[in-house]
Amino acid sequence: MSIDNLTVSYRQHPALHHISGQFARGALTAVIGPNGSGKSTLLKSIMGLLKPSGGQVHTHTARERIAYLPQLTEIDRSFPLQVRDCVLLGCWSAVGVFGGVSAAMLARADAAIHTVGLEGFEQRAVGSLSSGQFQRVLFARLLMQEAELILLDEPFNAMDSRTTATLLDLIHQWKTEGRTVIAVLHDDAQVRQHFAHTVLLARELVAWGPTPQVLTEPNLQRARALAEAWDDNADICHADEVAA
Ligand code: ADP
Ligand code: MG
């Protein structure tokens, strides 16, 4: 999967600027960078939720084979849904709007709930779960999707260490199954330990490649310096303006 000279702007303010690179297939890639550096924007662009103002994303993957987990803050869980139904929504495209849920699907959903350590919670309302439990539900739903490409935006934010360990195990399992995982993360040590490849963003691309070559002090310093220089009123990019 590749990104070709990608620029994405919100009302003329570029959040991502001329980004190019290749994601390693079947590998774990971390996306890191200061707050506001365009990490979520990159994931949304790969998912096709945002239209680039320049350049392209080539996923070489059918849309229904891409799974996307937004930042928890962007998810509304006030809806009255039970854990099992929420997990079953992961295979919505297979069920179809008028199709029934087969016994096999129910069994798969319960297996997924078991895998994330939530057996016994099948009939709990999702609104009553802790954020760690809810994140486990969302991972169980990803398990149902059988996606080739999995995009995770800060999956471990505000998670307890047990939940993080469980979900990291799942991510490694996805890798052994040949799935491509791209995750926005904050914890450098975690990135070094678990993610072989890293993209370091600061609205522009600072570095992209094997994690040990990206997570160097000069690169991190450069990303911080770029972030300090941001002035949201000043960085209108006329070169990238296109008619919406
Ligand atoms: P990150 O995930 O790295 O913190 P984002 O991709 O969310 O960064 O945002 C990058 C920049 O784009 C930030 O300056 C942010 O304020 C801005 N931005 C993000 N979403 C919107 C939006 N919907 N409208 C306007 N500006 C946005
Ligand atoms: Mg973000």
Q: What is the pTM of this model?
A: 0.90
Structure tokens at 228: 């300090």
Distance 33 CA to ligand 2 centre (A): 10
Q: What share of the chain is helix, strand, coil (3-state, %, to 5)?
A: 40, 25, 35
Strands laid side by side in the 197-202 sheet: 66-69, 149-153, 180-184, 28-32, 197-202, 204-210
Residues around ion ligand 2, judged by CB within 5 A, are 39-40
Give the integer Cα–Cα distance in Å for 145 and 67: 7
pLDDT of residue 105: 87
Q: Which atom of ligand 1 is nearest to the CA of 42?
A: 6
Domains of the chain, CATH where assigned: 1-61+148-234 (3.40.50.300), 79-147 (no CATH)
pLDDT of residue 44: 96
Distance 106 CA to ligand 2 centre (A): 33
Please give the average pLDDT of every successive group of 10 residues along the chain, which has 244 residues. 96 94 96 97 95 95 90 78 87 56 88 95 93 92 92 92 94 96 96 98 98 98 93 52 40
Q: Which atom of ligand 1 is nearest to the CA of 38?
A: 6
Output Rg (C-alpha) for the chain, integer angstroms. 19
pLDDT of residue 91: 61
- In this structure, the residues whose C-beta lies within 6 A of any atom of ligand 1 are 10, 15, 33, 35-41
pLDDT of residue 244: 36
pLDDT of residue 190: 96
